[in-house]
Structure 1
Amino acid sequence: MHEPVKNNAAPFLSPEAPIGIFDSGIGGLTVAKEVMKQLPNENIIYIGDTARVPYGTKSDRTIKAFTLQSCLFLLEHDVKMIIIACNTSSAVALDFIANMFRIPVIGVIQPGSQAAASRSKNHRIGVIGTHTTVNSQSYKKTITSLESKAEVFSQACSLFVPLAEEGWLHHGVTDQVCSEYLKVFEGTNIDTLVMGCTHYPILADSIDKAIQKIMGHPVTLIDSGVETAQVAKNILAEKKMINTHSKASHKFYVTDLPKNFTAVGERFLGKKLDSIEMVNVESMGF
Structure 2
Amino acid sequence: MEKPIGVLDSGVGGLTVVKSIQKILPHEDIIYFGDSKNVPYGNREEDEIFTLTMAMLKYFEKRNVKMVAIACNTISTIADRFRDKFDFPIVDIITPTVNHIENMGIDKMVILGTDFTIRTKAYEKLLRERRKDYEISSERSPRLAELVDRGDYKSREIYDTIGGHLESISQMGNFYNIVLACTHYPIVEDIFLELDPTLNYINPGFQQAKAMRMILHEKGILKKEGKGSLQVLTSGSPEIYQMVLNKLEMRDVGEIKTVEIPPYLE
User: Could you say whether these structures have the same fold, taking a TM-score greater than 0.5 normalized by the shorter chain as the test?
Assistant: yes
- Give the drift of 1:172: 8.1
Distance 1:182 1:141 in 2: 24
Relative to 1, partners in 2 of residues 1:118 and 1:211: Cα closer, same or farther, differing over 3 Å? farther
What is the match of residue 216 of structure 1? none
Kept in 1, the 8 Å contact 2:42–2:142? The answer is no
Kept in 2, the 8 Å contact 1:90–1:107? The answer is yes
What is the match of residue 261 of structure 1? 241
Q: Which amino acid aligns with 1:148?
A: K
In the alignment, is residue 58 of structure 1 matched against residue 44 of structure 2? Answer: yes
What is the match of residue 39 of structure 1? 25
In the alignment, is residue 80 of structure 1 matched against residue 66 of structure 2? Answer: yes
* Larger gyration radius, structure 1 or structure 2: 1
Kept in 2, the 8 Å contact 1:266–1:272? The answer is no
- Give the drift of 1:203: 2.4
- Give the drift of 1:58: 2.6
In the alignment, is residue 150 of structure 1 matched against residue 130 of structure 2? Answer: no
Residue deviations 1:174-193, cap 9 Å, x none? 66643431233335333422
In the alignment, is residue 207 of structure 1 matched against residue 187 of structure 2? Answer: no
What is the match of residue 251 of structure 2? 271
Distance 1:281 1:127 in 2: 33
Paired residues in the alignment total 264
Distance 1:201 1:274 in 2: 23
RMSD: 2.5
What is the match of residue 131 of structure 1? 115
Q: Which amino acid aligns with 2:87?
A: R
Residue deviations 1:261-281, cap 9 Å, x none? 333344345336422222222
Relative to 1, partners in 2 of residues 1:234 and 1:285: Cα closer, same or farther, differing over 3 Å? farther
Relative to 1, partners in 2 of residues 1:164 and 1:120: Cα closer, same or farther, differing over 3 Å? farther
Relative to 1, partners in 2 of residues 1:283 and 1:228: Cα closer, same or farther, differing over 3 Å? same
Unaligned runs of 5+ residues in structure 2 are: none
Kept in 1, the 8 Å contact 2:12–2:149? The answer is no
Q: Secondary structure at the match of 1:232?
A: helix
Q: Which amino acid aligns with 1:23?
A: D
Kept in 2, the 8 Å contact 1:128–1:194? The answer is yes
Distance 2:205 2:244 in 1: 18
Identify the match of residue 107 of structure 1 among 92, 98, 101: 92
What is the match of residue 178 of structure 1? 162
Identify the match of residue 246 of structure 1 among 218, 223, 226: 226
Distance 2:34 2:164 in 1: 31
Distance 2:63 2:265 in 1: 15
Distance 1:86 1:263 in 2: 19
Unaligned runs of 5+ residues in structure 1 are: 1-13, 214-218
**TM norm structure 1:** 0.82
Identity of aligned residues (%): 27
Relative to 1, partners in 2 of residues 1:38 and 1:209: Cα closer, same or farther, differing over 3 Å? same
What is the match of residue 192 of structure 1? 177
Q: Which amino acid aligns with 1:151?
A: E
